[in-house]
Amino acid sequence: MQATGNAPDIRRLRLFDSCVTLGRMARAGTPAWLTAENILGVMDRHDIAEALVHHVEARLNYPRREGNLRLLAAIRGLPRLHPAWALEPPPSPDLTAAREMVEEMLAAGVRAARLMMGVAPPLHWLWRNLCEALEAHRVPCFLDFAPTTWSPAHASTQANPSDWAIDQLRTICLAHPDLPMVLSNVQGGLGIAYPILPLMRRVPNLHIDITAVMDWWRRAATELGPERVLFATGMPFCDPATFVSNVQYAHEIGDAAKQAICGGNLRRLLEAVQ
């Protein structure tokens, strides 16, 4: 996207999309799906350099491991695509099982997780073992609060976490301060749920992406720091052009901050995985 006025050329920002769903969606009313065959063309049309992708089968179906492995097969040989596995806590209170889950993920070259908190609620006693195993390796965790039932039928990653869920998330964040967490595709009314920005002020390991929060991410970037914000589109459920232009023409955000938001922050988090 060519720049006009004093907005930067978007290609120079090296966009790294942190929220992309890959795979065929066998549900009525879904938008056009993204596959390994067409995703690079979509990214090129919108000047997106790289993307962190998860598989729709891993989000919607059990066992999630099968969808996670399908993701790896789908993106093999496509270095612009980086895998994120959808995870939920082991059914029993077993730290060993949680560690094995994380070790399998890392051994497969996966350096990001998508925590399915729309399915398994954000109760610390439920998530403790898995968060402890992820924290030991500093794995960035994208918090997916969207329901994965037949309502809504389109299985979007978009969600509006309740005040109760946000309160519970505070407990988890404080208990695992070395675990990077990212609120992914959250919304609420015309912006985001009221407690989210106050929560981010209290827990420095909590980040937010720009998807579905057209203006609030700017407040987070200017008041809390651009390192707390990540670029995302929510494809294929959202039009990526909306978010590309939204960050490109954010005149109150300087070029260095845009560089961080558009890709630098996510690259830094992935490189820090141990």
Domain at 14, CATH number? 3.20.20.140
- The letter for the amino acid at 38 is N
Q: With bands split at pLDDT 50, 70 and 90, how would you rate the model's confidence at 190?
A: low
For residue 188, is pLDDT > 80? Answer: no
Q: Is residue 82 part of a domain?
A: yes
pLDDT at 144: 96
Distance (Å, rounded) from C-alpha 265 to C-alpha 62? 32
For residue 191, is pLDDT > 80? Answer: no
CA 159 to chain centroid: 12
Q: Is residue 5 part of a domain?
A: no
Which of 46-60, 136-150, 187-201 ranks highest by mean pLDDT? 46-60
Distance (Å, rounded) from C-alpha 38 to C-alpha 253? 32
The predicted model gives 105-112 an average pLDDT of 98
The predicted model gives 151-158 an average pLDDT of 66
pLDDT at 149: 61
Q: Could you say which DSSP state residue 33 is in? A: P
Q: With bands split at pLDDT 50, 70 and 90, how would you rate the model's confidence at 63?
A: very high
The predicted model gives 233-242 an average pLDDT of 90
Q: Is residue 202 part of a domain?
A: yes
Q: With bands split at pLDDT 50, 70 and 90, how would you rate the model's confidence at 31?
A: low
Q: Which long-range contacts (CB under 8 A, 24 or more apart) does 117-120 make?
A: 117/143, 117/144, 117/145, 117/161, 117/165, 117/169, 118/144, 118/145, 118/146, 118/147, 118/148, 118/159, 119/88, 119/147, 119/148, 120/88, 120/89
- How many separate domains does the chain show? 1
pTM for this one?
0.92
Structure tokens at 217: 């991410």
pLDDT at 154: 56
Query: Parallel, antiparallel, or unpaired: how do β-strands 85-87 and 81-83 relate?
Result: unpaired
Rg (CA), the chain: 17
Task: Select the more confidently predicted residue: 213 or 149.
Answer: 213
Q: With bands split at pLDDT 50, 70 and 90, how would you rate the model's confidence at 4?
A: very low
Q: Is residue 1 part of a domain?
A: no
For residue 103, is pLDDT > 60? Answer: yes
Q: Is residue 3 part of a domain?
A: no
pLDDT at 3: 47
Q: Is residue 206 part of a domain?
A: yes
Domain that holds residue 260: 10-271
pLDDT at 88: 96
Q: Is residue 4 part of a domain?
A: no
Q: Is the peptide bond before 63 cis (omega within 30 degrees of 0)?
A: yes
Mean pLDDT over each residue of the chain, to the nearest integer: 90
Structure tokens at 90: 């082991």
52 three-class SS: strand
Distance (Å, rounded) from C-alpha 81 to C-alpha 114? 15
Q: Is residue 108 part of a domain?
A: yes
The predicted model gives 122-148 an average pLDDT of 96
